[in-house]
Amino acid sequence: MTSCAGAAGPEPAPAPKPHTPEATDATLNEQDVNAWLDGMLPAYLNEAQIAGAAVSVVADGELLTARGYGYADVEAREPVEADETLFRVASVSKTFTATAVMQLVEAGELDLDTDVDEYLDFEVEKSFDGDLTLRHLLSHTGGFEERVANAMLPEGEEVNLRETVVNDPPEQIYEPGATPAYSNYGIALAGYVVEAVSGTAFPEYLDQNVLTPAGMDSSTFEQPLPEGLEPRLSQAYATDEDPPIDRFEIVSDSPAGALTATATDMAEFMRVHMEASAGAGLLEPETVSRMHEPALGEESLGGIAGGAQMGLGFFLEERNGNRIVSHGGDTAAFHSEMQIYPEENAGIFVTLNSSGNAGLVSHSLRLAVAEGFADRYFPGEQADGGQAEPTASEHAAMLEGVYTPSRSIRSNFAALFYTLEETRITATADGTIVLTSPETGQPTEYMEVEPWVWREVDGHRTLAADVVDGEIRAIGTTAFTFLPADGDVRGSVVMSVLGASVLVLVVAILSWPVGFLVRRRLSLPARDKAGRRARVLTRVAMVLTVLGLAGWLFVTSLALGFQPVSFGMLRVFQVVQGLGLLGAVPAAVVVYDNIRRRAGWERCIGSSLVLLALLGVGWIAAVYGMVTGSVSF
């Protein structure tokens, strides 16, 4: 579930395009970078209705510049200051957790390839016999399904990391090491390993061993913020015209997303992962290099190892022939991107305090800045050379089809919503493929540049397919994988059945008062009493079915809005939905009675449609755990 509905607003701004001048136009120095940022970001922020942003740039292993734009508090007209204003950096926090893990690996207290149960005071619930290791957790190949509910806790509630990883863990749905599936839970579990082995609470360990030694004296994993830092936190907004979000987002999987930092502090962390800084006293150079290498190979991942991969806590990218290690992050309103060039001893960090006026505009904007930086200061050349493989047309035809994301839920009702997130791959006449996915928001064309490896046309992203016995097992791109939807219930089928069923039930429910008023106005006789009980029970079932569906939709909207969810409420919805499903029995009796009594074709067709609608919703409810099973999602 990558999107949610929002209130009507202004016409969405188009996604900003990165500025890509010729290499001779720019030199990586303070004057040029400042002029470039000042000429680009204010216009982007205004167009996207984002209240404020901060950027820091490192060159030659040192802070080159840091800039603040817009407002940290719109009403008070308080400007963003890059070295003072605090932002929630969300999933960029994962790189800090990985750094902490690797410190303990260096110290000999942890091993990347030992089962994590060896370090924990509880046993992780597993669905497969193989080991679950820190290597798997840091590369998002632990195999866990997504967990959405209560990702953010109510303000004032304290995070207990042990309870977070022990209570209601997500189900392990893939064999560890085989299928990349981005997992906040997996990183939270790695963070708890740090806590359990060090004997120090995770935020405190990070402060003592990562943040302070790195010179990040304005940063913390504490939730809520310490008194000395709290006044410096930027307000968070939907758009610059909306009131601020009136709560501090407390991240339950804290090692995966709880860091609060300034842009200048983030520059200090980027230095840790550059060759010139040699670990900046936090890690040995060899350990830093190890984190920036693919965490797993073909023996584990199969063919998807041929494309973009995860390192240990970092996304591994290549742009214009330059190697980049990166990570992005999003909360309800804060959005960040960090891209580091280890060999070039350079990096850029950008963070926003608003989501903007279109669904993916904050994502597009931060990538426009990061990719614009690459194209301006490290232009190089694309690696594919524009030459397609001879197998392109054949392999494109094999890839054509519908896929579902590996980052999904399979074990409970939320699986319904992930079923609807289909990715489609279409083969073109010239042998390229076009991928349309909710993750990208627009069709993207790829060319096969090696057997079973595709590179984005006029871009740098890659895809790689794992083919087993002539069948596509998976298509991988860093920590995300697309899986063939053939074995699953197709989202288009589910939506058709659900939409038609709900329409029939709602029309039938609305027809009752209309029919009553018409009969009363025209003094028509009421229906005879024969079969009345079955009709009443059917009507009750119809109302319960619609109420149950509305309840699931309400709960999902809460979770997507990072609001707390009551699992007791979900159990009530299961009961309501189950009673609605049982209503198919009296509905069948009504159909039989109408046919037997020759009640007229209108009644026969109407009652038959109601029965089919109840069965349609019942089928969906049964398949997706809306009447039985786990309500932890």
First to last CA, the chain: 12
In this predicted structure, what is the pLDDT of residue 601? 84
Q: What is the three-class DSSP state of 329?
A: strand
In this predicted structure, what is the pLDDT of residue 131? 97
> Where does 168-262 have alpha helices with state H?
184-198, 202-206, 254-257
In this predicted structure, what is the pLDDT of residue 514? 65
How many residues are recorded in the chain? 633
Calculate the CA 529 to chain-centre distance.
55
Note the pLDDT tens digit of each residue in 575-584: 889 899 999 9
Neighbours of 273 (CB within 10 A): 25
Where along the chain do its domains lie? Answer: 23-377, 392-484, 491-623
Radius of gyration of the chain (CA): 27
The ranges of the chain with pLDDT < 70 are 1-25, 279, 381-387, 439-441, 486-491, 514-530, 560-562, 631
In this predicted structure, what is the pLDDT of residue 276? 77
pTM over 0.85: yes
Tell me the C-alpha distance between 583 and 505, whole Å.
12
Read off the DSSP letter of residue 319.
E
Cα dihedral 161, 163, 164, 169 sign: positive
Closest among 370, 357, 372 to 51, alpha carbons compared: 357
Read off the DSSP letter of residue 207.
I
Tell me the C-alpha distance between 584 and 616, whole Å.
10
Question: Cβ(447)–Cβ(455) under 8 Å?
Answer: yes
Note the pLDDT tens digit of each residue in 144-202: 999 887 777 877 788 999 999 998 899 999 999 999 999 999 999 999 999 999 999 99
Tell me the C-alpha distance between 165 and 255, whole Å.
11
* CATH match for 23-377 among 1.10.150.120, 3.40.50.300, 3.40.710.10, 3.30.950.10: 3.40.710.10
Tell me the C-alpha distance between 482 and 578, whole Å.
33
Tell me the C-alpha distance between 607 and 535, whole Å.
9
Closest among 267, 269, 286 to 278, alpha carbons compared: 286
Question: Cβ(418)–Cβ(5) under 8 Å?
Answer: no
In this predicted structure, what is the pLDDT of residue 517? 64
In this predicted structure, what is the pLDDT of residue 18? 43
Residue 110 to residues 199, 255, 463, Cα–Cα distance (Å): 13, 17, 33
Give the up-direction half-sphere exposure of residue 12: CA atoms within 13 A in the CB hemisphere: 14
Single-letter residue type at 517: L
In this predicted structure, what is the pLDDT of residue 442? 78
Tell me the C-alpha distance between 468 and 484, whole Å.
13
**Per-residue tokens: 55:** 């950027």
**Per-residue tokens: 392:** 């392109």
